[in-house]
Chain A
Amino acid sequence: MATIASSELKTGSDYRGKAVRLVTQLWPWIFLLVLVFYFSLAGVGFFSVRSFGSILTNTTLIMLMALGQTYVIITAGIDLSIGWTVGLASVLAAILMRDLSGSIGVYQAIIIAIAGGLAVSLIPGLINGLLITKARIPPFIATIGMFGVVRGVALLLTDGQNVIGNIPADVREVLRDVGNGSLLYRIPGEGFTWFSQPADLEAAGLRVLERLMPYPVLIVAIIVVIFAFILARTRFGRYTYAVGDNIEAARRAGINVDRHLIYVYMLAALCAGMAGVLHVFRFTAGSPGVGGPGLLESVAAVVIGGTSLFGGEGRISGTVVGALIIGVVKSGLVSMGVDSVWQFIIVGAIIIFAVLVNQAQEYVEKQQEKHENE
């Protein structure tokens, strides 16, 4: 029997490879720290509990969108339609709350509205999945087409208006308690309260009131953990990687590739739906265009987080850091008094930079491999 010792093949330059990998995996974290440090020095009022709380709360929208997008990009696809799916879900949820709350109870109306918003978001996801797997339309084209369709449907629902308001006051109150509430409040120098802010708070108190655990952040944090768990530990997650890595290998291994891809696009759409419903809770209104700008930012978050646009690689933890970087940049610029238009330029530049870093990593690894196999 022949003896094969392959171990000697891979040792020499492994340390350099590890160093490269470490840098490419850690740079988003370092970048985030540098940003926080910089804005804390340069920005006005950036370094405070209140400001961090609002950064986290404001990041929930792109965080949710980026969660589903991470799955899609790991399958080597992309979903450009989710921005308007957010709007569609928010509009439908708001309309249901407005129209139902008179005839049924407040809570029933809210529950039906949540279900309706989430359910409607699944439709574009399902169609995306079918177009990509059955009609073999590239994800870029299929979802950009769906982008237009969903946008139109959302605007039809609102008769072209920008906002669906007119939600009855009793419903609004419940929405606000969740959307703007916090599990824990603190008034500096006075103390803490749980679940609701201290009663009879004066304007001065409101100005310093700290929301230590905003509900939207808690809810999204739980969803993030669930999505991270599914991706890292379950068979569904394993198939997501396998499909993006080598779709032919996945097919030959007996994985139902088409069905899996359809699920992934529905998942991305569901994330957008959750973002849309959450928007209604936070702003007590639905608005068709709310997710539009979030698309670019969510893709940026995913790419900054190290997920490869070629598929097969990526982590939710990376996406979380990526989303935080985007959130910090946006708030930081505001705190420095920079014109908000610069956000677009800087976020765009960060995307390009992140892709460059990922490519550099791949290049270095290829070189190394070549060297080792000689």
Chain B
Amino acid sequence: MSSEQPILELKGVSKYFGGLTALNNVSMQVHPGEVVALLGDNGAGKSTLIKCVSGVYKPDRGNILFNGENVGNYSPSAIRDLGIETIYQDLALAEQLDVGANVFLGKEKIKRLFGILPVTDDDYMRREAVKVLERLDIHIPSLTQKLVRLSGGQRQAVAIARAIYWDARLVIMDEPTAALGVPEQRKVLALVRSLRDEGIPVIIISHTMADVMEVADRMLVMLRGRMVADIPREKATVDLLVKYIMGAGEMMDENGISIGGYLAGAE
């Protein structure tokens, strides 16, 4: 693990829904330029954790530090203003609008027609969209096309482009490859890598072991609301990950997997 100052740090975060403990004393760190996979069975707490980080839920206990600042009580839009962008599984795109309109949705660039009439500067927004897509090595044939005419991978690229255009400093992706065909999945994984190459850390939630093994630098496994494993890529195997996900790995600390360490708060 890097000794750098973490960009994101969770310390003992707990979240309860009535009598249900969704997150139980969870701690984790994300460092600059690192792809962290978040694994776990359905109901393990991955989505709750992500929603706490993106401001949708407020943690009941513990701290969420972003560049050292405690952001646990921030609203979703305040979190976005800090540069934490979450790309949900449904992408949240306006499919009848073009790429430029989507990248700038809610923050349209306005120009003055004849010096008075405020109109959307569509050409500018398209040009900027091209630039950010080029940064990601994505080429979309016609930028005036509605998103509905683009492939699933291209749409995912637009969602990512929108996230990073506004200077994302941490990108969270929820099941980015779940709805895609195999060639499209490859493209999205390549996108994750190019984000990392730009120094933008990525948290990726996935059920697909192959994706995780290919792209992640570190794998975090959750089980029933707790963080049970933190495995660097070089030590990870699919078998090992599956064991932790299934709950059979709790006895495996002697394998040298760094769990328990900062779980217990002994960083």
Q: Which residues of A contact B (CB under 8 A)?
A: 1-7, 9-11, 17, 229, 233-235, 237-238, 241-242, 245-246, 248-250, 252-255, 312-313, 365, 369, 372-374
Contact = CB atoms under 8 A, between A and B. Distances in A.
A234 B119 contact: yes
A1 B187 CA distance: 12
A233 B119 contact: yes
B190 A254 contact: no
B138 interface: yes
Contacts of B77: 254
16 contacts: A2-B137, A2-B194, A4-B136, A4-B137, A9-B151, A237-B120, A238-B101, A238-B120, A248-B90, A249-B94, A250-B94, A250-B106, A253-B105, A253-B107, A255-B105, A369-B148
Contact of B106 (A7, A254, A365, A369): A254
A5 B186 CA distance: 11
Contacts of A242: 94, 97, 101, 105
Nearest to A311: B96
B94 A312 contact: yes
Contact of A245 (B91, B96, B181, B190): B96
Nearest to A10: B141
A6 B187 contact: yes
Given A249-B93, A250-B105, 12 more contacts: A6-B151, A6-B187, A9-B154, A10-B141, A233-B113, A233-B120, A235-B118, A238-B101, A241-B94, A245-B95, A249-B91, A252-B76
Contacts of B92: 246, 248-249, 252-253
B72 interface: no
Q: Which 7 A-B pairs have the closest CB atoms?
A: A253-B106, A2-B190, A249-B92, A312-B96, A254-B106, A253-B105, A245-B94
B191 A4 contact: yes
Contacts of B152: 373
Q: Is the interface of A mostly helix, strand, loop or mixed?
A: helix
Contact of B151 (A2, A234, A365, A373): A373
Contacts of B105: 242, 249-250, 253, 255
B97 A2 contact: no
Contacts of B138: 4, 6
B206 to A, nearest CB: 18
Contacts of B187: 4, 6
A11 B142 CA distance: 11
A245 B150 CA distance: 16
Interface of B: 76-77, 80, 90-97, 101, 105-108, 110, 113, 117-120, 136-141, 148-154, 157, 181, 184, 187, 190-191, 193-194, 197
A1 B193 CA distance: 8
Contacts of B106: 250, 253-255
Contact of B108 (A9, A11, A238, A369): A238
Nearest to A253: B106
Nearest to B91: A249
A1 B108 contact: no
Contacts of A235: 108, 110, 118, 120
Contacts of A9: 151, 154
Contacts of B101: 238, 242
A312 B101 CA distance: 13
B181 A373 contact: yes
B172 to A, nearest CB: 13
Q: Which of B80, B107, B120 has the most CB of A within 10 A?
A: B120
Given A242-B105, A246-B93, A250-B106, A372 B197 contact: no
Contacts of A11: 141
A222 to B, nearest CB: 15
A307 B153 CA distance: 28
A325 B20 CA distance: 61
B79 to A, nearest CB: 12
Contact of B95 (A2, A246, A255): A246
B133 to A, nearest CB: 10
Q: Which of B90, B105, B113, B118 has the most CB of A within 10 A?
A: B105
Contacts of B118: 234-235
Contacts of B197: 1
A211 B151 CA distance: 53
Q: Which of B106, B154, B187 has the most CB of A within 10 A?
A: B106
Q: Which of A6, A10, A241, A255 has the most CB of B within 10 A?
A: A6
A51 to B, nearest CB: 37
B55 to A, nearest CB: 11
Given A3-B137, A233-B120, A245 B194 contact: no
A242 B150 CA distance: 17
A246 B88 CA distance: 14
A1 B197 CA distance: 8
A103 B191 CA distance: 74
Nearest to A314: B96
A5 B94 contact: no
Nearest to A256: B106
B97 A245 contact: yes
A246 B105 CA distance: 11
Given A233-B120, A312-B94, A312-B95, A5 B139 contact: yes
Q: Which of A4, A9, A246, A250 has the most CB of B within 10 A?
A: A4
Contacts of B93: 246, 249
